[in-house]
Structure formats: C-alpha cells, structure tokens
Amino acid sequence: MRDTPANIIVGVKWVPNTTVVNVDPVTGTLIREGVPSIINPHDLNAVELALRLREKYGGTITAMAMSPPAAKSGLEFLIGMGVDRGVLVTDRAFAAADTFATSYVLAKAIEKLFPVDVIIFGQETIDSSTSHIGAQVASWLDLPYIYYVTEAEILERARRVRVKRSLEKQTDVYELPMPCILVSLMKSNTPRAVRMSNKLRAKLEKPIEVWTNETLRLDSTRTGLRGSPTLVSRSIPTPSVPRKKRRFDGREDPAGAARWLLDNLTKEGIV
C-alpha cells in the first residue's frame, strides 16, 4: 500500500548543448541565439531520482524550468520520461539573472505549488556549473537541504526523508523533515531512456503550463539583471598554458617514441 504519496518538484534548466557557446563581448552575457539547447544533463539524474521515489511511494512529479520559451520542448521530453506536469516559468523580466535572482523567482514559483514534500535539483548545470540553486532556493523557502544525494527513502510515519549522500571519501546518511530540498549527485541514478511515442503522447495529453510575471507578480527590481547582486564585467577566452608542443610520430616506431620520451623526461628531471 502506498500511504505516503509524495508531491515532488524537480527544478531543471534549459542549457545550450554545446560547450562552444558565444558570449556577447559588450555585455559579457551568453548569446543563446543559434545554439541548440537541451535539458541540462545533470538534471536528468534528478528527474530519475524523483521517478524512483514516485514508483515506490506514489504521488506526482512536477518539473519546473525557469528558461526561455523554447524550453517547452525540454519539459515535454521530461513528461515523456514520466513526469506528471510541466511548468515553464518564463518572462523577459527574469532574463539575464544571476543565481541569486534566479533562485528568487524559482522559490516564488515553487511556493505556488505548495504543499510540496520534496524538491529536487541537479548538482550543477553544464553552462554555468555553479551548484548554487538548491541551497539558494532552500534559503528563500527556509527549508532544510542536502547536496550530493544518491538515494532517498521516505520514512512513512515521521514525514521524514532519509538520504544517502556521497562525499569524496565517505557516504553519509542524513534524515530531513519534509518538505525539504535534495540536490542529486551528478552521476547517480542513471536516467531512463525515453520512447519517442511517449514523447509524442506527452505533447498531446499534458500541455506545458506557462507562467509569466503576470502569474507570479514579482517586483521587477528583484528579478533579472536588476535583481542580480553580481555582474559579469567582462569575459575572455580562457588563455592557454604555454606548453612545449614537441611531437614524435610513433606509428611506425613505438620503441623510438618511447626512447625519445624517456630522454626528454630525464632532461626534465622527472625520471
């Protein structure tokens, strides 16, 4: 019997799917035009963790993204993966935000879905890699949180979640009262494959809800660039470290290549 159905929210981000992205040389912000995007891969592990919880305890999963309108297709993909509901939070007033202003909008949007039991985020995004959002949303909503979660179980009577989390050299077990925020470890809970037919059905049966600032009614000084305490003053291509770049073609002469390498490593004082 499932007597602890959980209302789960998974926060996801729509990100450029290539690492070769361009930055506006004047504003120093990301130029999204012309770059194909995907749901942040590390967020799929978070969705998978949510799906496993729902399989065990029942309940519903809402995926939420604060992203440009094109993210709709990403949320449809997640519905194809098994998520029940997709909410796209999108408004020009939310654009160009740093993590502080982004987390504020997300927290306010999540609040509209309360009561909620568990909120899950991916560890970080491939475009900005900050790992900030989970902890920042926890601060706005004043909820307990824990990062690097690999497994979660709901302790039925106590309304608590018991999680395993993985730090470099140790595995820790923590218990959090619900509602709480879990940030899933980057490579845990390998996301399931999605059938194309599911994706198509999802599009027809569960349209994505779009929430703008008409819905949230947030003070515009708290969102977007204006609500961001940090600003990118400039961006430059990462300078390369000077290297000797010496080369030996060893395809015909592996032994010669090895001798050449060892001679050089000896000169470097390494062997």
Partner 1 sequence: MSEPVQQAPSWGPIRREECRGILVFAECLGGTVSEESLQLLTPAKMIAEKLQNEITVALFGHQISQLAREPFSYGADRVVLVDDPKLVTYCPNVYGSALVQLVRREKPELLLIAGTLRGREMAPYVANVLETGITADCTGFDVDETTKDVLQIRPPFGATMLAYIRTPKHRPQMATVRPNVFQLPLRDESRKGKVVAEKGIDIPQPSIEFVSSEEVMKDQVAIEKAQVVVSGGKGIGSRDGFGMVEQLASEFRGVVAGSRKAVDAGWLGHERQVGQTGKTIKPTLYVALGISGSAQHIFGIREARVVVAVNVDPNAPIFESADYGIVGDYRAIVPAIIDEVKRSKPRA
Q: Which of residues 187-206 bind partner 1 (CB under 8 A)?
A: 187
Pick out residues in 88-117 that bind partner 1 (CB under 8 A). 98-100, 103, 108
Of 32, 132, 199, 206, the residue at the interface with partner 1 (CB under 8 A) is 132
Instruction: Considering the complex, state which of residue 77 and residue 147 has its C-beta at the smaller distance from partner 1.
Output: 147
Pick out residues in 196-255 that bind partner 1 (CB under 8 A). 216-219, 221-222, 228-241, 243-251, 254-255
Pick out residues in 5-44 that bind partner 1 (CB under 8 A). 16, 19-21, 23, 28, 30
Of 52, 82, 174, 225, the residue at the interface with partner 1 (CB under 8 A) is 174
Distance CA 106, CA 197 (A): 31
Check binding of 157 to partner 1 (CB under 8 A): no
User: In this structure, are strands 59-66 and 6-12 parallel, antiparallel, or unpaired?
Assistant: parallel
Of 13, 148, 208, 224, the residue at the interface with partner 1 (CB under 8 A) is 148
Instruction: Considering the complex, state which of residue 21 and residue 199 has its C-beta at the smaller distance from partner 1.
Output: 21
**By CB neighbour count within 10 A (0-12 exposed, 13-18 middle, 19+ buried), where does 252 fall?**
exposed
Contacts of 135-139 spanning 24+ positions with Cβ under 8 A: 135/183, 136/99, 136/100, 136/102, 136/103, 136/107, 137/11, 137/103, 137/106, 137/107, 137/110, 137/181, 138/181, 139/103
